[in-house]
Structure 1
Amino acid sequence: MSMDETLYCPPRQPWRWVGWLLASQLLVAVLWGWLGWHWGLPAMLLSHALFLVPVFLPNSRFYGPVLSHWPQAGNRVWLTIDDGPSADTPALLALLARHQARATFFLIGQRAAAQPALVQAIIQAGHSIGNHSDSHPQAWWWAQGPKRLAAQIGQCQQRLATLSGQPPRWYRSVVGHTNPFVAAVLRRHGLTRVGWSARGYDGVARDPAAVLARIAPDLRSGAIVLLHEGGSPGQAVAVLEGVLQLLHQRGLRADIPG
C-alpha cells in the first residue's frame, strides 16, 4: 500500500457521538438535581452547543474523520474544485493541462448526469472526481435527517459510478457542514471526507485578486486548496491561473492522492 493509500479513512465508528450525548445529558441531569437550575440550565445550553458547533466547522473530527491536510506530500499540493461540472470545466481542464497539474473535481450528481461528456473529460485528463451531494441543498444541508442525507450522497455516488466506471472514494460536505448522520452514510459507501487548509472564499468574493490574497498564506506543501467553478464568468479560471502561478513560484506542484 502506498503512502497516499493510507489517506482513505471512511468512518469506523459513525455513532460514537450517541454515547457522548447520553453521558452529557446525564451529567446535566445530575447537576440540575444537585445544584438546581442555576447550574443545570447553563450546563444544558453548553452541552447542546458542544454538539451543534462542530456541524459548522469544516475540519471538525467530532462526527467522524476528515482530511484537512495532505501528510508527507513532499512538494505536492492538492487542488480541489467544487460544484461542477459547469461551463467553466473545459477551460479549467485546458488550464490544468498547460501547467501539467492535476486536481480533484467534487461533482454534484444531477449536474454530472446532465453533462456526462464533461465527467468523461475530467477522468480522461487524469483527474479524479468526488461526491458533493446530488443536488447541493446548501441552505439546509446541516439540518438533514439520515434518510435525506443517505439519498443525497447515495444518488450522487450511483450517478458518478455509472458515468466514470467506478465509485468515487472522496466526499466533500456541502458548504463544509457535517451533521451527526453523515458518517454512517460515508461508511456505507466507503467514502473519505475531505476538508481543506486553504480557501479564498471564491463563492462569495468576486475579485480574483482578493481570493488569491486569502489563499496565498496557506499555499504550502500538503495544502488542500478549496476552489469553486460555475460562479461569475471567468472568475474560476482566473483564480486557478493565479494559484498555479503561485505554486510554480514556490516550487510546488498540483497533484492528487492515489
Structure 2
Amino acid sequence: MEDSSTKGLKQERKKRQRVARIKTALICVVGIWLLASMIICTALVFKVYMLEEKLDYLLDNFTVSGQMETESKQTFAKTDESAYFDLEDTTENGEWANGYSEYYSVAEAVNQKENLAGPEDIHKVYLTFDDGPSSNTTAILDILKKHNIKATFFVIGKEDDESKARYRQIVNEGHTLAMHSYSHKYSVLYDSLDSFESDFSKIQNYLYEVTGQECLFYRFPGGSSNHVSNTDMKEFINYLNTQGITYFDWNVSSGDATSQAYTAEELVDNVMKDVVKYKTSIVLMHDAETKTTTVEALEPMIEALESMGAEILPIDENTTVVQHIAAASVKQQ
C-alpha cells in the first residue's frame, strides 16, 4: 500500500494537471473569442464600406419623382430670375419627355433662351466624361483619336499606376483634363465647406503632380443643382470663384447614368434630340467600368454629330459656360 505522502503527491499532481487543463481551456476560449471578434469587426467594417459605396451609387443614379423635379425647377427659377426652364420637356407626371430623369438632372441650365440655336447657327458640342479614369478610358480615347476629336474628362482621384497612365494619356493626346472631386463621396464632399475645400485641393494637387497639368475646370458630383448637399451649393460655387475655377454642368445628357439600360442607339438618340436645340451643348456621359454601352455609342454619336455639321470641341477658357446655378450670380463672401 502507498504511504500517505506518496498518495498526497499523486493527488497534488492530478490537481495541478486539472488546473493546467482549465488554464489551457480558458486560453483557448479567450483566443477563439478574440479571433471571432476580429473577424466580426472586419466583416462589419467591410459591410459599412460596401454600404457607403452602394449609397453613393444610388445617389448618383437614383431617379427622382416628378414632384421634386417640378419643385426644383421652381426653386432655381426663384433663385435666378434669368433662369430658363423648358417645362414642355416634361410629361404630365413630371418626368422628362425623353425618357430619362436622372437624380441630378433637376434643373435646366440658366440663360438657355440665349443659347437656343437658330437655323444658321453652328452647333458647338462638348463631349464630357465623368467618373474616370476606368478600364474603358483607353477605348474612349482610341475612338476619339480615330476621328481626330478632342473631349473633356472630369476625373476623380485614383492612385493606381494604370489610372496615372490614363491621366497622362488624356493630357498627352490633347484632351481637357478637368476635376470631378477626389473622393466622389457625397457624404464627405458636401458635408461642409472645409470638407469640400480639402477634397478640391487634393484632386487639383494630385492631378498636377501626376500630369504637370494645372486643371481649371470642375464639375460637381450630382451637378450644382443636386439635392444631396448638406451645405448650400452657393458656398462651394463661391469658393471655386475665389480660386479662379470655372465649373460646368450640362444641358444635354446621354442618359447613361440612369438605372434604365439604354442601348447604344438610344444613348445616341438621347443626345441628338437635344443637341439640335442649342448653339452650345455640354453633353454628359460617363467613363466607368460598367459603361460599356457608352463606349459602343460613342462612334455613331460622333458620326451623327459630324453629319449635322456640328463642331466637337474640348472645354477651354473660351467655352460658353453651362451652369444650373450661374456662378456670376453668387456674391463673393
Same fold flag (TM > 0.5): yes
Aligned mate of 1:123, from 171, 183, 201: 171
The AA in structure 2 aligned to 1:148 is: S
Q: 1:168 is matched with which residue? A: 215
Q: 2:284 is matched with which residue? A: 226
Displacement, 1:215?
A: 1.4
Percent of pairs with identical residues: 25
Rounded to whole Å, the distance in 1 between the matches of 2:199 and 2:116 is 27
**Pair 1:245 & 2:303 matched:** yes
Does the aligned pair in 2 maintain the 1:141–1:174 contact within 8 Å?
Answer: no
Q: Secondary structure of the residue that 1:115 maps to in structure 2?
A: helix
RMSD between aligned residues:
3.4
The AA in structure 2 aligned to 1:211 is: L
For 1:1-258, list aligned pairs within 5 A: 50=75, 57=106, 74-110=122-158, 115-138=163-186, 140=187, 143-177=190-224, 179-204=233-258, 205-207=260-262, 208-220=264-276, 221-232=279-290, 234-258=292-316
**1:58–1:145 CA distance, 2 compared to 1 (3 A):** farther
Higher relative contact order (CA 8 A, sep 6+): 1
Displacement, 1:233?
A: 5.4
Does the aligned pair in 2 maintain the 1:198–1:215 contact within 8 Å?
Answer: yes
Q: 1:28 is matched with which residue? A: none
Kindly provide the CA deviation profile for residues 95-149 of structure 1, in whole angstroms up to 9, marking residues without a partner as x: 00111111010000236886211011011111011110001114x3785211111
**1:113–1:196 CA distance, 2 compared to 1 (3 A):** farther
The AA in structure 2 aligned to 1:82 is: D
* Rg (Cα) greater in structure: 2
**1:105–1:149 CA distance, 2 compared to 1 (3 A):** same
**1:58–1:153 CA distance, 2 compared to 1 (3 A):** farther
Equivalent residues, number: 205
Kindly provide the CA deviation profile for residues 209-237 of structure 1, in whole angstroms up to 9, marking residues without a partner as x: 22222211112442111110114252221
Displacement, 1:156?
A: 0.8
Q: 1:36 is matched with which residue? A: none
Does the aligned pair in 2 maintain the 1:129–1:168 contact within 8 Å?
Answer: yes
Q: Secondary structure of the residue that 2:130 maps to in structure 1?
A: strand
Q: Secondary structure of the residue that 1:105 maps to in structure 2?
A: strand
Rounded to whole Å, the distance in 2 between the matches of 1:142 and 1:174 is 9
Rounded to whole Å, the distance in 1 between the matches of 2:115 and 2:289 is 26
The AA in structure 2 aligned to 1:250 is: M
Q: 2:57 is matched with which residue? A: none
Displacement, 1:185?
A: 2.5
Rounded to whole Å, the distance in 2 between the matches of 1:58 and 1:149 is 22
**1:107–1:233 CA distance, 2 compared to 1 (3 A):** closer
Rounded to whole Å, the distance in 2 between the matches of 1:70 and 1:92 is 29
Does the aligned pair in 2 maintain the 1:77–1:253 contact within 8 Å?
Answer: yes
Does the aligned pair in 2 maintain the 1:79–1:104 contact within 8 Å?
Answer: yes
Q: 1:24 is matched with which residue? A: none
Does the aligned pair in 1 maintain the 2:152–2:178 contact within 8 Å?
Answer: yes
The AA in structure 1 aligned to 2:292 is: G
Rounded to whole Å, the distance in 2 between the matches of 1:141 and 1:69 is 35
Displacement, 1:166?
A: 2.9
Rounded to whole Å, the distance in 2 between the matches of 1:236 and 1:218 is 17
**1:100–1:60 CA distance, 2 compared to 1 (3 A):** closer
Displacement, 1:239?
A: 2.2
Kindly provide the CA deviation profile for residues 10-44 of structure 1, in whole angstroms up to 9, marking residues without a partner as x: xxxxxxxxxxxxxxxxxxxxxxxxxxxxxxxxxxx
Rounded to whole Å, the distance in 2 between the matches of 1:167 and 1:181 is 23
Moved more, 223-232 or 77-86: 223-232
Q: 1:40 is matched with which residue? A: none
